[in-house]
Amino acid sequence: MLGQTSAKSGKNLDAISSAKLVRKHGASRTGADRELFIEKSNSFVVCARLSAKYRGGICLKRFDWSSLTPDWSLIEQQICKLAPPHILGPPLVPY
């Protein structure tokens, strides 16, 4: 699902891809070092949530914040349903 980046969900998927990558790098760590990688990853998840706030939002109630391998599909499915972002600028179609 992450390979299908569109203009409407690109930044959200970038943030989730970053979160996944940070968790992947943390997998080889142990103890407090691993927890630090999970916390960094969670920051990217929060970025995705904030960037989706005015486009329908992402619910993170069922997201497992402390897992090294959370169910990412809970977020990815919601990102694909977001409204397109509002972009200020001239119309793309001439009058």
**pLDDT for the residue numbered 95:** 66
CA-based nearest residue to 8, from 55, 45, 44, 61: 55
**pLDDT for the residue numbered 9:** 61
**pLDDT for the residue numbered 91:** 74
**pLDDT for the residue numbered 48:** 94
Residue 88 belongs to a domain: no
Query: What pTM value is reported for the model?
Result: 0.79
Please report how the helices 31-51 and 73-80 are oriented relative to each other, as an axis angle in degrees rounded to 10.
20
Question: What is the end-to-end Cα distance of the chain in Å, rounded?
Answer: 37
**pLDDT for the residue numbered 4:** 45
Number of structural domains in the chain? 1
**pLDDT for the residue numbered 19:** 96
pLDDT averaged per 10 residues, the chain (length 95): 50 91 96 96 96 92 96 94 81 73
Residue 55 belongs to a domain: yes
Q: Which domain does 50 fall in, by range?
A: 10-80
Residue 67 belongs to a domain: yes
**29 vs 37: CA distance, rounded Å:** 9
